[in-house]
Structure 1
Amino acid sequence: MASSLLPAFTVRRGEPVLVSPSAPTPRETKPLSDIDDGEGMRFYSSGIHLYRANPDKRGQDPAAVIREALAKALVLYYPLAGRLKEEAGRKLVVECGAQGVMFVEAEADLTAADFGDVQSPPFPCFEQFILESTTVAGVEPVIDRPLLYIQVTRLKCGGFIFGQRFCHCVVDAPGGMQFEKAICELARGAATPSITPSWGREMFMARQQQQPSYPHLEYSEPSGGGPEPDRMLTTPASDMSRVPFFFGPNEIAGLRQRAPPHMRGATSRFELVAACVWLCRTAALGYGADEEVRLSFIVNARGRKDVPLPEGFYGNAFAYSVAAATAGELCAGGMGFALELVKKAKSAVTYDYLLSVADLMVSRGRPLFALTRTYIVSDVSHAGFKSVDFGWGEPLYGGPAKGGEGPLPGVTNYFSRSKNGKGEEGTVVPVCLPKDAMEKFQLEVQGLTAQQL
């Protein structure tokens, strides 16, 4: 649903306050891992949950319930109430002093029904429902700032919106959801969360002799290209078009038909959609045949036998892996070639790969990942957004506030799960491209997803 379809409304915010742990917590300094504190993690990731009214909760204030549960949850997750400090070598540590997280209550002249059937990010008028922190020269700093901002907006129907912004240095998506679920359990009356948090950052520290053992294309500029900069990095936001693309059963079947026979049964939905969007995006943007183009995507290390994560770990446990080819090679090779590159990049992330990333961060000053002719995707389909229940029931919408996070629109993208008008479940990709490239992209996608007779 587009923001323009909402009725005129006003959000009235109260005065933001700091919420500290409800009981004494350790006063100490805890280092982040060398994966946590890379330049690419130094931003706030935002999410939104929309709830309808619950007759069983009549007379209860969701903001008060959440605020009380938040204070209790921060006793176990006390580093989240601290502040980041930067030490020698740009190393980030958390000064745990119970300084608190930022919390604000708000009111909106809207009902949950006014948002319609929101299925994918960006959430309509999301800026009104998340609490921003102070920016400096257009950049939002993370040093000496609250690590979490929460806004609870009451709706006139009795429902509410829960908006949060986490500092990505301290949690990734599953880690943030673990904390939110702890708040939910406490809000619903549990004495303690079902999962005990674990810090565990030492397992992702650089080795004594930093020797990155992989190419790590994600931190180097792509080859080829002339004097003209990548148009995805220079096109003004006003000249960009954003369209959500739904990949349901029919589209996935069409893509699977175009996979090589030996891959069809062993290729995931994510691999199919990622390969398709990367291929179609490259063709639509008209890159030169000799220009290297890349797909960079997050590979989660959770659940892998070779990555000894402690139970309850809530830090960053992923790496960016890269599929790369020249635009000419990619477009000529089609889906089969793109899929091979995606699957190879996905399988490359092991515990040794993660340690190599940590080594690179320390040896190269914690660089930002490359952005030129690069498409960065994150699959949040399995993060568990729909299970965030503060006692009012399952959210009508739960997911990222924006279509992507990061430095520039269109360079980063979230893949999420939703249903279409027929009730079919699929993957939604909110694609952002220069307006003159969007029609070409749509035609390319239609061509690849059409089922062959």
Structure 2
Amino acid sequence: MTYMVRNELCTRGATLCSFATLRQSLSKVLTRFHPLAGRLSDENDFTVDCNDSGALFVEAKIQANLAEVITEPSMDELKQFLPLGPTETNVLLAIQLNVFDCGKLGDGASLVNFMHSWAAVTFHGRRCSFGFDFKPSTDRISKEEKIVSKRVVFDKEKLAKLKSSVPESQVTDPTRVEAVSAYFWRHFMDVAKAQNPNKKMAVVATHVVNLRPRMDQSLPD
């Protein structure tokens, strides 16, 4: 998520930009989401020790504009905006607030219900409601697996060629996202089946979508 705040508000130390306020409200909302203040068990048995150890909260001042970072991003540079690596610790909730020179505030929290409740606590008098309609995942949690991140760029000509290769009997005029997703997903499945030819697999693809310009009153990037 990315939030826009005016530079003059931050320089004046306004409450809106106060990390202290965010820390205090975070501690309050964690009482409602108390498992997030615990730690993942070291026994690899998918249990959470609700020991009230707290969340990891990191503050960072970035000497760059957000546009400079996202225009030509590299995975190594983007990692510095995260509070920790995916397998570094058993902390369940880690948040890093990155304040850029342009006045934009970036954070890595992606739990919508949690962020909604946190905001409600920060601005006193607001009520929040939340619910969980999904079952806990039973997938294996790996702390040792090495994860490789790659960035692939398709130019206009390659995208057009990729879209034209999709049979019209399956999809009529696919979008760029559909064409690229199908391309990668097909090859991922081919590799997975080749490595495990006799294993039945349940697979899920997840897309991160920027909803800001799609809102009734669009928000700036």
Interval containing the TM-score (normalised by the shorter chain) = 0.5 to 0.7
CA contact (8 A) 2:163 2:175 kept: no
Give deviations 1:22-69, integer Å, cap 9, x for gaps. Answer: xxxxxxxxxxxxxxxxxxxxxxxxxx7474535566432342232233
> Cα offset for 1:118?
1.9
Residue 121 of structure 2 is aligned to residue 149 of structure 1 = no
Ranked by relative contact order (alpha carbons within 8 Å, sequence separation 6 or more), the top structure is: 1
Selected match of 1:67 from 23, 26, 32 = 23
1:102 is matched with which residue?
Answer: 56
Structure 2 gaps of 5+ residues are 140-145
- TM-score normalised by L of structure 1: 0.35
> Cα offset for 1:101?
0.3
Tell me the C-alpha RMSD between the 2 structures. Answer: 4.6
What is the identity percentage for the equivalent residue pairs of Structure 1 and Structure 2?
Answer: 24
Q: Secondary structure at the match of 1:379?
A: coil
Give deviations 1:181-238, integer Å, cap 9, x for gaps. Answer: 43344445562334x1337536x669xxxxxxxxxxxxxxxxxxxxxxxxxx9xxx9x
1:193 is matched with which residue?
Answer: 128
1:92 is matched with which residue?
Answer: 46
Give deviations 1:413-443, integer Å, cap 9, x for gaps. Answer: xxxxxxxxxxxxxxxxxxxxxxxxxxxxxxx
Residue 6 of structure 2 is aligned to residue 53 of structure 1 = yes
2:209 is matched with which residue?
Answer: 381
Structure 1 gaps of 5+ residues are 1-47, 134-138, 165-172, 207-232, 280-293, 297-320, 327-352, 358-368, 370-375, 388-392, 397-453
1:295 is matched with which residue?
Answer: 188
CA contact (8 A) 2:40 2:47 kept: yes
Q: Secondary structure at the match of 2:82?
A: coil
1:289 is matched with which residue?
Answer: none
Selected match of 1:179 from 114, 132, 136 = 114
The structure whose residues are more often strand, as a share, is 1
Which amino acid is 2:60 matched to?
A
Query: Against the structure 1 CA distance between its residues 268 and 51, is the aligned structure 2 distance closer, same or farther, given a 3 Å change threshold?
Result: same
> Cα offset for 1:82?
0.9
CA contact (8 A) 2:38 2:51 kept: yes
CA contact (8 A) 1:51 1:394 kept: no
CA distance in 2, matches of 1:50, 1:124: 23
1:408 is matched with which residue?
Answer: none
Residue 87 of structure 2 is aligned to residue 140 of structure 1 = yes
Query: Against the structure 1 CA distance between its residues 118 and 86, is the aligned structure 2 distance closer, same or farther, given a 3 Å change threshold?
Result: closer
1:276 is matched with which residue?
Answer: 183
Larger Rg: 1
Which amino acid is 2:207 matched to?
D
- TM-score normalised by L of structure 2: 0.62
Selected match of 2:65 from 107, 112, 115 = 112
1:255 is matched with which residue?
Answer: 162
CA distance in 1, matches of 2:133, 2:37: 14
CA distance in 2, matches of 1:245, 1:274: 13
CA distance in 2, matches of 1:66, 1:151: 11
